[in-house]
Structure 1
Amino acid sequence: MLLCVENLTKVFKLSGIPQQVLFDVNLTIYEGEFIAITGPSGGGKSTLLTILGLLDRPSEGHYQLAGEVTTHFNDELAAAIRNQYFGYVFQNYNLIPQLSIWENVSLPLTYQSKFKKTQRIEQAKAYLQQVGLAEKYLHYPNQLSGGQQQRVAIARALITQPKIIFADEPTGNLDSLNSENIMNIFKSLNEKGQTIVMVTHNQQELEYASRVIHVIDGRVT
């Protein structure tokens, strides 16, 4: 068991009015799984992903990560766990335009003082090689296509050798060919043992997952 949530709920306050988004979610994810979370828009998929990725906290319920209860984590500890154990891939890539490709990819390593600049460059090039972009390491984001930028984002997510990759609609801004390329990268990573938890509304992409979780109106069905 890698992740486990029990009776998890999430309530937001909109204009002072409580609005419940997740209702008593129970979910267990095991190491090496490729999980696809799907369901209608506004149903709570991304909210669940942000809680699993320690980017947000539940209102009620329990969340265990590798057997450790996360409810006592302060912001500093949660940030350290995120940087060491998680990799994130977002729909909008979230690359920093002023940084070169290798600088974007190696950004998570800047929080680890043991890596010198030359080491960060070599690490970035190695992970860019995995996504077929090693020759682009001196380019900048605006010099790459959307599909290439998303591959850079995947390389950045991998560079800390995370236990889990969280991907939120990773192909949402891509055409069908680039979407297929991204999904094939995820499939290859999973076949090598990488745990992946992905939110998607694309029904074709569910075929890549080892397990599909449906979230409808804030409930896992």
Structure 2
Amino acid sequence: MKRFCLWVGLLGVLSTAAMANQLCTNGGTYDTYITNYNSFANACQIGDKLFWGFQHTAGANASGQEPFSSEISVHAIPGDGFSNIGISFNSGGWVANSTTPINDILTYNVATLSASPIIKDATLTITGTLTGLGDHAQVVETLTPGVAGSPLTATLNSPASVNIVFLNNMQAMFAVKDEISLLVDPGNNTQSHVSIVENDFSELVPEPLPTSLIGSGLLLFGLVLRKRVNPVGAEESK
């Protein structure tokens, strides 16, 4: 009976560890992220990464036409569980014309579940359309603490995706700042837009996932039950 209780307790611990962090709402609006995931204690999880502390502010050159937080949707990018895990920000509101430039800033924190310094690279990708000759759009991503290659700059039309690798200075956590800038040439009667900003992070080695721990716990639990139902020597005693 004591052994049975021990395994039940172990399974409970594993289940609690797996469910300690809520999953990030896929497709939720940025204002809900600001409200719901406002501290490390309320961090949400994508793959083996935690995200929290979301903020949205206007840049120094903002025109006042930047989208509201409720007009930005957030999408989880699970990757393969430890590589290319990230988050993307989508909006139809990052639209500029010759009189209204866009300068928007999104910030948040990302960390490994284990708190181990094993984040080895970062990728920034921008998606959108430049309509007129001379129009310009870019996202500058600043990582704190600083690593080689930060800040990253992705531009339309090239390079729309930028990757940096920092194997000699791997980190457990970053404060991330994405500054979105969109400028239309004053001589153009056009509109250009940025639709998606994506941030991805990879690790050197995979961390043990909670689901695999639960699987191991269930297997051990099943073995204990089997022994209780069919004790060793039961067949021989018949």
Q: How does the TM-score come out when normalised to structure 1?
A: 0.24
TM-score, with length taken from structure 2: 0.23
User: Which of the pair is proportionally richer in helix?
Assistant: 1
Q: Hey, which of these two has a bigger chunk of strand by percent?
A: 2
Work out which of the two has the higher radius of gyration on C-alpha atoms and give 1 or 2.
2
Which protein has greater RCO, CA pairs closer than 8 Å, 6+ apart? 1
